[in-house]
Structure 1
Amino acid sequence: MQYVPLGRSGLMVSRVAFGNSMTHGNQIDDDTARACVHAALDAGITTFDTADAYADGRAEELLGRALAGQRRSDLVLCTKVGRSPRPGPNEGRLSRKHIHDSAEASLRRLGTDHIDLYQAHRWDPHTPLEETMSAFADLVHSGKARYIGVSEWTADQITAGAALARELHIPLISNQAQYSLLWRVIEREVIPASDRAGVGQMVWSPLAGGVLTGKYRPGAEAPGDSRAVRAQGGARSMNRWRHLDDTVLSAVAALDPVAAKAGLTTAQFALAWVLRNPAVSCAVTGASRPGQLTANLPALDTGLDDDLVAEADRVLAPVVVDDPAMAGRAPAPAAPSPA
């Protein structure tokens, strides 16, 4: 495993982080979830990412139990606030009330006294940014959070948040965004703005929700155990990509021989491509069984040849999404109902 600073901070993260957004408490049983976490630890992964919204808090609980007994100082524990699915007028926000309430609940579920990286889970247009950043500052100054990050913020939002963080003397160090060979919307605006602010990219879905593993083939049914057909959230996750059509799947199939020239599987090539970007500190990957996680780690030891990268770009060019206007696109919290 390799370890690098997250953004321009002193926090060292593993280049591959383990994330449990679509698995723990949802698609796999608890014993398998625990086995996946232990496989990550055995592989040298120190960075674990979750959120209070995943499986309505069960993902945090399962991760906390799976990590119990590990030396806490060896771990970088990351969670998020701001997309709670629970009903209530103050839920799912980045208000002072919800941030503090959610932090306390996350600490209980994770079984820890501090969160290493506490992230704003999407922009909240209904709460003043000053209120959000001030609440985060409270948590940092009290020791309940060590560092602050954001997820899927636009370039302008990152710039504004980083300016306030500097005023409040708190470390805003990361943006967690979608990024893959197929989804490149952060390249033109978000990454340059982040670089100027000292914010590193902690990217999620580097394998495009499994599309870049090569398991989905044009004209063929999706495998029965794949995410695309899972009843609990998998199909919705895949639909986000708009990638399960023959045009995209044919382009991804054409990537197989390119990856083979590098001595890699398509999934390994896709992960190596993401980590090749100097703006990317780490890539968040999940697993529904331990072998999935370890199978892709050879990507860490591979430097991709420029000619192969150019060939991959040519193969995928017709299906790549790179419009910077798509950055930060996600359902926002609903506006408060009038009294």
Structure 2
Amino acid sequence: MDLTTTAYGTWSGGRFMHFGETLSEERYKGCIQLAFEAGFRTFVTADVYGNGKADELLGQALSGIDRKDYCLVGMLGHDFHKGQRQGNRGYPRFTDPELRGPEGYADYMKSACEKSLEKCQTDHFDLLMLHNPDEIGYTSESVWSGMADLKSQGLSERLGIAPGPANGFTLDLIHCMEQFGETIDWAMLILNPLEPWPVGLALPACEKHGVDVLTRVVDFGGLFFGDMKEGHEFKPGDHRAYRPEGWVEHGLEKIEKMKSIAERHGLSMVQFAAIWNLSQAPVKSVVPTFIQEASDQAKPIEERIREFAVMPELRLSAEEIEEVKAIGDNTGCMMLKGASKRHSVSERPDEWPMREELFELADRYGLGTEW
């Protein structure tokens, strides 16, 4: 099964990424089961979430469902088997030279994939993505030949790339598709009406190379679900508390300007955000973060899951897409990850210096020189 237009991610529910309340294990699995009952047919997980626990709970939740009736998307990239956690930076990528060289990539990926599949209680992924790659992941022939081996061995029907964890990587992604495009079927990218930049710059290249796009953070940190109001207080440790001060109020002001378009089509605001994404080639699937907000007035997460599952088939016009993009324009609002002129050496696994071929690529795609 290929990906469906709506997908459910195992980072929802606060157990493995800290957004809102942390669901109990049983309620967490119940939400996955509810998602299937409500109409979701694509489920996305990553082996590093909970060091395999997310895979395990997903496998338990879907264990009574025929494997042919859902699409399973997996991700691998962080070595939590041999690597040591590095504080807030998480586990190192498996391509970290301190862990192994290129000759060990294929064996690691096969082992990690098989362990993830075992926890998910299945023998194959419908799509397996390289998760949060470092510079080596974007550029290494050994990495992508190892990914291709997993497909040829029947461990995954399709292959993809999931840049992150923060926003950026535009030039790196396009260069990777130019180098290994025959291997890459899907990319998972951050896109929503309040964050049209920088992913909008990469969409034409994805379409050119035949790479379908799964968009995450379509809800913009939960703002499009409507539970968050001005002055929203986040629980200690909530990832969203580290965003710039005033982001909730600023986002709500922009959402208010978009409401007439959503109402014109009879859409809730989170449906509107998803439809805006899906109206752009080559976006084919959207995956939100379902959050149980820490507020007595917040709707139950289960209600949010049901709401998102009922997604109309309509698409916005080119004029409406541009109108929304203008309202939500966030160009230059953040320091982007990936290749940048800010760096002369690679200091972190998500930031590295620009290379000459990336300058050439930026010029060829008309993406400017301010990287």
**TM-score, normalized by the shorter chain, greater than 0.5:** yes
- Whether 1:208 and 2:208 are equivalent positions in the alignment is no
Determine which of 35, 44, 48 is the counterpart of 1:49: 44
Pairwise CA distance, 1:30: 1.9
Percent identity for Structure 1 against Structure 2: 22
Map of 1:172 onto structure 2: 184
Give the 5 Å matches for 1:38-187. 38-84=33-79, 88=83, 91-94=92-95, 95-126=105-136, 129-152=140-163, 154-161=170-177, 163-164=179-180, 166=182, 171-187=183-199
Equivalent residues of 2:197, 2:331 under 8 A apart: yes
Which 10-residue stretch deviates more, 150-159 or 190-199?
A: 150-159
Is contact 1:182-1:321 (8 Å) kept? no
Question: Residues 290, 246 of structure 1: CA spacing in aligned structure 2 closer, same or farther, 3 A cutoff?
Answer: closer
Matches within 5 A, 1:186-205: 186-205=198-217
CA-based RMSD of the aligned residues comes to 3.2
The structural deviation recorded for 1:119 is: 0.4
SS at match of 2:110: helix
Which 5+ residue runs of structure 2 have no aligned equivalent? 17-21, 85-90, 96-104, 164-168, 292-300, 341-347, 353-371
Is the 2:181–2:209 Cα contact (8 Å) retained in structure 1?
Answer: no
Give the aligned partner of residue 277 of structure 2: 274
Shift of 1:149: 0.3
- The aligned residue for residue 3 of structure 2 is 13
Match of 2:288 among 279, 282, 285: 285
Query: Is the 2:270–2:308 contact (alpha carbons within 8 Å) kept by the matching residues of 1?
Result: yes
Q: Is the 8 Å Cα contact of residues 191 and 279 (structure 1) preserved in structure 2? A: yes
Look up the equivalent residue of 2:349 and give its one-letter code.
A
Amino acid corresponding to residue 139 of structure 1 in structure 2: L
Cα distance in 2 for residues equivalent to 1:43 and 1:105: 29
Aligned 8 A contact 2:159 2:185 in 1: yes
Quick check: 2:190–2:199 contact (8 Å CA) kept in 1? no
Distance 1:309 1:163, change over 3 A: closer
Deviations 1:287-314 (A, max 9, x none): 3432211213444234436665555445
Q: Partner of 2:158: helix, strand, or coil?
A: strand
The one-letter code sitting in structure 2 at the alignment partner of 1:48 is F
- Between the aligned partners of 1:73 and 1:245, the Cα distance in structure 2 is 41
The 1:240–1:221 alpha-carbon spacing in structure 2 relative to 1, beyond 3 Å, is closer
Distance 1:315 1:101 in 2: 46
Q: What is the CA deviation profile of residues 225-274 of structure 1, one whole-angstrom value per residue up to 9, with x for unaligned ones? A: xxxx2456xx2246458773433332224434443333222222111111
Aligned to 2:251: 248
2:32, 2:317 → 1: CA distance? 32
Q: Could you tell me whether the CA contact under 8 Å between 1:273 and 1:304 is conserved in 2? A: yes
User: Once structures 1 and 2 are overlaid, which stretch shifts more, 270-279 or 150-159?
Assistant: 150-159
Tell me the secondary structure at the aligned position of residue 145 of structure 1. coil
Taking the aligned partners of 1:329 and 1:212, their CA distance within structure 2 comes to 31
User: How many residues in Structure 1 have an aligned counterpart in Structure 2?
Assistant: 310
Which runs of 5 or more structure 1 residues have no equivalent in the other structure? 1-10, 223-228
- C-alpha spacing 1:175/1:243, structure 2 compared with 1 (3 Å): farther
Distance 2:181 2:323 in 1: 41
What TM-score does the superposition give when structure 1 sets the normalisation length? Answer: 0.79
